[in-house]
Amino acid sequence: MVYADYTKKETRFIEGIMKKHGPKLDGPMRVFEPACGSGRLLESLAARGHSVHGFDLNKHQVAFAKNRLKVKGLQGRVWRDRLQDFSVPKAARYDIAHCFVSTFKYIDTEAGAVSSLRRMAAALRPDGLLLLGLHLTDYKNSPPDHERWIGRKPGIRVVSDTWSAPANRKSRTEAMRTRMRITEKGETRLEETLWDFRTYSPNEVRALLRRVPSLELVVCHDFHYDLKSTRALDLEYTDVIIVLRRR
């Protein structure tokens, strides 16, 4: 619910970036979402006729995502797996894969990140695209941060506050905390999650990409998902969508 406002924009962006930078397709796209969460993008892309596959580590998210496709009468494949060492169904080859909302930063080691990117690349057809949405770190200027997202549905309101602590350059971590205030049927409950994200400066992204030569950097955009405005991979703007192509 809290990311729902972005879903339409992201869906159109995925379609648009494919037209602009991907191989020419005669029909719908075969889309892959590593760490698909509740399946909001699986649903919106499937509803537009694309074939969707995705996995998540959290079994509740997997069950939710499967059910949301089923109740809408949509096709898709969702399974439980880990970003670091996932596998895809036999013979699956995707036109495009995407991993937004800094989800890639849950992978807590460089070896895990390399393995994950290699697997994502191998799951793509030649010239297929991989979109990574990441908040980059400026180690020289990383004050504590706070973001608020609000989601509403009839009878439910969710206010989600996320705090990040200053990044630690040595350990490549930033401590994160999300508190969700969920009001439903007149009652409010709080849910809190604490975790560490692995941090990436632009140079750390480049160093990671050098270890996965099967992927080439095509272009960067930002979290406004505007196909007409591109960004450099630098610290001018730290919320980037990195567009990679399988060689």
Q: In 126-141, which positions are buried (b, 16+ CB within 10 angstroms) versus exposed (e)?
A: eebbbbbbbbbbeeee
- If DSSP states are collapsed to H, E and C, what string results for the chain? CCCHHHHHHHHHHHHHHHHHHCCCCCCCCEEEEECCCCCHHHHHHHHCCCEEEEEECCHHHHHHHHHHHHHCCCCCEEEECCCCCCCCCCCCCEEEEEECCCHHHHCCCHHHHHHHHHHHHHHEEEEEEEEEEEECCCCCCCCCEEEEEEEEECCEEEEEEEEECCCECCCCEEEEEEEEEEEECCEEEEEEEEEEEECCCHHHHHHHHHCCCCEEEEEEEECCCCCCCCECCCCCCCEEEEEEEEC
Map residues 36-75 to x or -, x wherever contact with ligand SAM holds by CB under 6 A: xx--xx--------------xxx--x--------------
Only segment of 28-36, 68-76, 175-183, 210-218 that touches ligand SAM (CB under 6 A)? 28-36
Q: Binding of ligand SAM at residue 32 (CB under 6 A)?
A: no
Write the interaction track for ligand SAM spanning residues 142-181; mark x where CB under 6 A is met and - where it is not.
----------------------------------------
Report, in Å, the least distance between residue 116 CB and ligand SAM. Answer: 8
Q: How far is the CB of 61 from ligand SAM (least distance, A)?
A: 4
Which one of 23-31, 76-84, 134-142, 196-204 is the stretch in contact with ligand SAM (CB under 6 A)? 76-84
Q: Which is nearer to ligand SAM, 139 or 149 (CB)?
A: 149
Residue nearest to ligand SAM (CB): 37
List 12, 82, 169, 179, residue binding ligand SAM (CB under 6 A): 82
Minimum CB distance to ligand SAM, residue 162 (Å): 10
Does 35 bind ligand SAM (CB under 6 A)? Our answer is yes
State which residue, 35 or 45, has the beta carbon closest to ligand SAM: 35
Given candidates 2, 47, 63, 101, which one binds ligand SAM under the rule CB under 6 A?
A: 101
The residues facing 243 across adjacent strands are 131, 219
Q: How many residues contact ligand SAM, by CB under 6 A?
A: 19
User: Would you tell me which residues interact with ligand SAM (CB under 6 A)?
Assistant: 3, 33, 35-37, 40-41, 56-58, 61, 82-84, 100-101, 103, 106-107
